[in-house]
Chains A and B, each alone.
Chain A
């Protein structure tokens, strides 16, 4: 019953109107229903053709309408719905349109509203094809013409036609569970064939089919999209089971490494507060703490000895001591502390060659230093330092606020304790040493450190000796004047890489002695020249300039960067930190 003319002039609007006028699947009237069915089918196909936007197809559609009178209204409606789903505007069911069209006043409606009505009146029972009409896929489109053609035949033909997996809908025709599962499988097939999953949820946006659609959608979320688009395939990550055994083994291996190194290396921001041992104390590594404390103690000491530098009452030896003692103190501090003395000794020791004399010499130095200090002006500060050191080793934050023991007593105690020390990691040693040097560098009496730095610019300050086993023995008396130089002599012999005569080493010691004396004299004179009583870094820079280490091309900061580790550089070279704070303060 082709009411419409297959000829041209049939706009979608007119066609729709005709469809709605003629189709009414719900009416009990047989012929009408049949007609409705046929009309529904026709509308279905027509709507499908709408997608294809081909009027020729419309005509074909119309032509085939008449062939479908045998189709059951239900099935037709289902089919209608099914195919209608595939329609571009998400048309739910032609049946609905049939319903609506019964209302009658369709003449004024636009195709849009007509289709809307169709959608609204679609029966809820069928799920129809999940393929969304909204997003026409070329494949389904390609399929549907064939389907349409096949639908020319019996309706039954259409069912199997619909089932081909190009679209998901075919499997969803029947509402049975079995069919549901079928649908699922069909859906999966469809997915395999490269349908975009997005179509399905849209197609199933229908309220009735929502749950089912949900089931369907959740079924295979991770399926690889398609063979056609391998790039989008999401493969599940290949997961290996955690090898607990290997993990534990690794743990054990890493734990064997000395924790000090780890702790020291992992110190991201060494608090640049020179005067605060708290940070150092916070470190769980006591040797490291001890080293730091030694630094601070040395720093404090240098401060106190700064003025001592100026007074010539102790005479040159005292001056030299002040200069040398800075260095020595750094080492001796290790000896003079209790628990950290252990580390200190160890720290200092590894720096020397593995000569047992080194220990004794250092101890001697410690003793001699303490002796010197008992006599010299640095006594109280020294003691204070030692106390501070011990306190620090006791993990307290006070800086030299403790009462002063007798230096002899302290040295005696600490020597004994120092000897009982256990080997310490070598890494802490160079750090501590450099820390001390650096502090001396920083403090008003930076002479020795600077001298060392300036005199040994070629020698890297990072000396990492393996920890030496401790040996106990008597402390031979040493000339206090040369007390602090044995360390440098040892360094010298180490870097010489060849055996050296004792006489040669003695000469080296003498030269070092003279050198340091000169150095301190110069520093003092420079300070006096500038009308000051305190030696400042500017004096040191002048000295280095005279030595030729600092030139117009190479500044002091450059040397600091080259030869000092980062922690000391932070303390020396002012750097701006967040919050407009510059450290160290100018």
Chain B
């Protein structure tokens, strides 16, 4: 049993490392873009620091999101939780709010489309009948 726990630990750790590596890579790419944009170079340590910071902050976010969801007596993390998380930074909050609105809209549209499709489907079934009737009439 202890061995299992150890192996699990190791697995988790390796998984964590892989995630960190992924984050590091992404941060590196982003920093390159910014460097090209601002014509400033990023040192490796900076990128490493940023990636480490990002990773830890993601952990914090996750915990906070879970806390928020639990606080609202839910088990699923919602956009509300995310908005709560981002409220500190105004611009970020605004951005996220806009995004969430977009998403909400998209969802609504999708729902509407689905509804339409289902209605159309029923209409279409009727229409060919009518067309058939009309054609038959003709």
Are A and B bound to each other? Answer: yes
Report which A residues bind B (CB closer than 8 A): 525-526, 529-531, 538-539, 542, 545-546
Mark interface residues in B59-103 (1 if CB within 8 Å of A CB, else 0). 000001001100111000000110010010000000000000000
A555, chain B: closest CB distance, angstroms: 14
Q: Is the CB of B72 within 8 A of A545?
A: no
CA of A97 to CA of B68 in the docked complex: distance in angstroms?
Answer: 106
Inter-subunit contact B67/A529 (CB<8 Å) = no
Q: Is B71 within 8 A of A526, CB to CB?
A: yes
- B67 A542 Cβ-Cβ under 8 A: yes
User: Judging by beta carbons under 8 Å apart, are B72 and A542 in contact?
Assistant: no
Bound-state Cα–Cα, A233 to B81, Å: 82
- Taking a contact as CB atoms under 8 Å apart, the answer to whether A525 and B87 are in contact is yes
For A542, what are the chain B residues with a Cβ–Cβ distance below 8 Å?
Answer: 67-68, 71
Cα separation A120 to B25 with both chains bound (whole Å): 120
A522, closest chain B residue (CB): B87
Q: Which chain B positions have C-beta within 8 A of A529?
A: 68, 71-72, 80-81, 84
**Inter-chain contacts of B80 with A (CB < 8 A):** 529
Q: Is the CB of B71 within 8 A of A538?
A: yes
Q: In whole angstroms, what is the CA distance A526 to B84 when docked?
A: 8
- Which residues on the A side are within 8 Å of B64 (C-beta)? 546
Q: Which 7 A-B pairs have the closest CB atoms?
A: A530-B72, A542-B71, A529-B72, A529-B84, A530-B71, A542-B67, A545-B67
Interface of B is mostly: helix
Which residues of chain A are within 8 angstroms of B72 by Cβ–Cβ distance?
Answer: 529-531
Contact A525 B67 (CB under 8 A): no
Residues of A within 8 A of B81 (CB): 529
Interface set, chain B 34-70, CB cutoff 8 A to A = 64, 67-68
CB distance from B57 to the nearest CB of A (A): 13
Main secondary structure of the interface of A (DSSP, over half): helix
For residue B38, give the distance in angstroms from its CB to the closest CB of chain A: 31
Task: Return 11 A-B CB contacts under 8 Å, by A number.
Answer: A525-B87, A529-B80, A529-B81, A529-B84, A530-B71, A530-B73, A531-B72, A538-B71, A542-B71, A545-B67, A546-B64
Nearest chain B CB to A559 CB, angstrom units: 17
Interface centre among A525, A529, A530 (most CB of B within 10 A): A529
Q: Which residues of B contact A531 (CB under 8 A)?
A: 72
- A525-B87, A529-B81 known; 14 new pairs, CB 8 Å cut-off, are A526-B71, A526-B84, A529-B68, A529-B71, A529-B84, A530-B73, A538-B71, A539-B71, A542-B67, A542-B68, A542-B71, A545-B67, A546-B64, A546-B67
Q: Shortest Cβ distance from A549 into chain B, in angstroms?
A: 14
Chain B residues contacting A526 (CB-CB under 8 Å) are: 71, 84
A-chain residues with CB within 8 Å of residue B73 when the two chains form the complex:
530
Q: Which residues of A contact B87 (CB under 8 A)?
A: 525
Question: Please, how many angstroms separate the alpha-carbon atoms of A525 and B67 in the complex?
Answer: 14
Shortest beta-carbon distance from A535 to chain B in Å: 12
Closest chain B CB from A383 CB (angstroms):
35
Min CB distance A44 to B, Å, is 91
Residue of A nearest to B81 (CB): A529
Report B61 CB to chain A, min CB distance, Å.
11
Instruction: Give the shortest distance, in Å, between B56 (CB) and chain A (any CB).
Output: 13
- What's the Cα separation between A538 and B70 when bound, in Å? 11
| Whole-angstrom CA separation of A206 from B84 in the bound complex | 101
Cα(A525)–Cα(B81), bound, Å: 11
Could you tell me the distance in whole angstroms from the C-beta of B72 to the nearest C-beta in chain A?
5
Q: Which residues of B contact A530 (CB under 8 A)?
A: 71-73
Q: How far is the CB of B88 from chain A (nearest CB, A)?
A: 8
> Smallest distance from the beta carbon of B77 to chain A beta carbons, Å?
12
Bound complex: CA of A269 vs CA of B67, how far in Å? 37
CB of B59 to closest CB in A, whole Å: 13
- Determine the chain A residues whose CB is within 8 A of the CB of B84 once the complex forms: 525-526, 529
Q: How far is the CA of A429 from the CA of B132 in the complex (A)?
A: 93
Shortest Cβ distance from residue A550 to the other chain B in the assembled complex, whole angstroms: 10
B residues within 8 A CB of A525?
84, 87
Chain B residue contacts of A546, Cβ below 8 A? 64, 67
Residues on A with C-beta less than 8 A from B67 are 542, 545-546
Residue of B71, B73, B81, B87 with most chain A CB atoms under a 10 A cut-off: B71
Considering the complex, give the chain A residue whose CB is closest to the CB of B88. A518
* Minimum distance in angstroms from A539 CB to a CB of chain B: 8
CA distance A542 to B73 in the complex (A): 13
| Residues of chain B lying within 8 A (CB to CB) of residue A539 | 71
A546 to B68: give the CA distance in the assembly, Å. 10
Smallest CB separation, B62 vs chain A (Å): 13
- CA distance in complex: A529, B80 (Å): 8
Q: Which residues of B contact A538 (CB under 8 A)?
A: 71
* A530 and B71 alpha carbons, distance in the complex (Å): 6
Docked pose: A539 CA to B67 CA in angstroms:
11
In the assembled complex, the CB of B80 is this many whole angstroms from the nearest CB of chain A, namely: 7
**C-alpha gap A542/B84 in the complex (Å):** 12
The minimal Cβ–Cβ distance linking A553 to chain B, given in whole angstroms, is 14
A545 to B67, CA, bound (A): 9
**Given the complex of chains A and B, what is the CA–CA distance between A531 and B68 in angstroms?**
12
Q: How far is the CB of B71 from chain A (nearest CB, A)?
A: 5
> In whole Å, how far is A485's beta carbon from the nearest beta carbon of chain B?
22
CA distance A529 to B67 in the complex (A): 12
Cα distance, A539 to B84, chains bound together (Å): 13
Of all chain A residues, which has the CB nearest B64? A546
Closest B residue by C-beta to A527: B71
In the complex, chain B residues whose CB is within 8 Å of the CB of A545? 67
Chain B min CB distance to A136 (Å): 75
* In the complex, residue of chain A having the shortest beta-carbon distance to the beta carbon of B70: A542
B97 CB to nearest chain A CB (Å): 14
* Chain A: CB-nearest residue to B73: A530
> Would you give the shortest CB distance from A42 to chain B, in whole angstroms?
94
Min Cβ gap A302→B in Å is 21
Minimal beta-carbon separation of B90 from chain A (angstroms): 12
Complex CA–CA separation, A389 to B64 (angstroms): 42
